[in-house]
Amino acid sequence: MDQSKADQHYIPYGCTNNTSVSHSGPVTEGSSVTLSCSAEANPAVDSYSWYNPDGEQVGTKKKLSITVSEADSQFYCKASNKYGCSVIPPKETTVVLDHAGPVVEGSSVSLLCRSRSNPPVTNYTWFRGEEEDKEPGSVLVLTGVDASHSGDYRCTAKNQLGEETSAPVRLDVQCESIQHRVDSH
């Protein structure tokens, strides 16, 4: 038997390295997107599994085609060979503002923290400026906003492998304009 093949067979590689999930172009709610899972492994990856945020398996191929919705915005891929699986800390963490047009005083606004990781994110922390917001979870809801809510918002996503903080997103709350009608008699 060739010695290099024998050595490779017995190398105790477990998890794959450098797993990444990619897609092309911008992703908007309601659009179709194909996610691709890539991983380096020795021996080569022979199994892919895709999961939604609830941990349900939704695919078993290298690519997953989905329609994007806010409810199912985080999918993660497990790439494995006969020795194990791949894990990654949070990355590509972003804040998405779900409000179209100007944010006017008195309105409600939701900010969504998105991050890719495997295993899934276990903890989200929100910041306005340098101050930590006590709202838990991936969505920060601001109701009855006023000028005091204006500022830079960012989030930190964390799992047992690490954490990442998003770039800031600016929220500018505008005063509601009041129009007066003058009747002439």
Q: Which of 7-11, 24-28, 114-118, 143-147 has the highest mean pLDDT?
A: 143-147
Cis omega (within 30 of 0) on the bond before 119?
A: yes
> What is the tens place of the pLDDT at every residue in 131-184?
888 778 999 999 999 989 999 999 999 988 889 999 999 998 888 765 555 556
Distance between CA atoms of 81 and 135, rounded to whole angstroms?
Answer: 39
- Show the tokens assigned to 79: 């790439």
Regarding predicted confidence, which is higher, 8 or 146? Answer: 146
In whole numbers, what is the pLDDT of the chain averaged over residues?
76
Q: What CATH number labels 87-176?
A: 2.60.40.10
Q: Report DSSP state, residue 29.
A: T
Regarding predicted confidence, which is higher, 19 or 85? Answer: 85
In the chain, CATH 2.60.40.10 covers: 19-86, 87-176
In CATH, what class is 19-86? mainly beta
